[in-house]
Amino acid sequence: MASPKLTPMAMAVLELLHERPMHPYEMTQLMRDRHLDNRVAVKAGSLYHTVDRLLAAGHIKIVETQRAGRRPERTVYALTEQGRDAFVDRAKTMLGTIANEHPEFLSGLGAMDDLGREAALEQLQMRLLHLEAKAAAQEVITRRLVDEVPAIHWVDWRYTTAQVRFELEWTRQLVDDITSGRLDWTGDCHPDRLHAVPVESTEDRSDDRAS
């Protein structure tokens, strides 16, 4: 039976095990230090579950167990040749193929005419505040990464910050297009002009048939 497709969390685990054997606690700490949470949800429960699945699939193996004082026993895992091959194949697909993703923001943009100009503008301005705060926080993290982490380990972070900067500038332009009047609303889909269509009740239909 073919092994299940490697998830982003599985790829993150195998990526770290390319460097050296590790126990899950060390993996979690490294993921947080390198801010891998910008591409995977770094939660201990999901990480341990992923490790179990990779072990069952033969992608990793147990190389030793460690115990320090009264701390719980820690199991150290290493990458297998099978795991390395699966990782390489999946990484090539992820890197070279355009995934068909559907961000929620696109659906929100599609609904702007139905929201009306003022409501849409209010939400976009709120989004701008969030994006500006996020971009500022990312700048702080980037400065730390430059000093502490080899650049090859945070290329994904560079992509994430570039996306945020692009969305920030793009949204600023959209807000400017709306406030300047360059972007027109159709005028017939504003919420105050939408009226619910009366639903004919079962009793009404019964009365019609009776008459």
CB 60 within 8 A of CB 77: yes
Task: Specify the residue for token string 């702080």.
Answer: 140
Q: What percent of the chain has pLDDT over 90?
A: 66
What lies within 8 Å, CB to CB, of 75 at 6+ separation is 23, 24, 62, 64, 65, 66
Q: State yes or no: pLDDT of 128 exceeds 50.
A: yes
Please tell me the predicted confidence (pLDDT) of residue 85. 96
User: What mean pLDDT do residues 163-177 have?
Assistant: 97
In the numeric block, which tokens belong to residue 52? 């179990």
> Could you tell me the CA-to-CA distances from 105 to 101, 109, 112 in Å, in that order?
12, 6, 11
pLDDT band at 38, cuts 50/70/90?
confident
Averaged confidence pLDDT in the chain: 87
Tell me if the pTM is above 0.85. no
What is the rounded radius of gyration, in angstroms, for the C-alpha atoms of the chain? 26
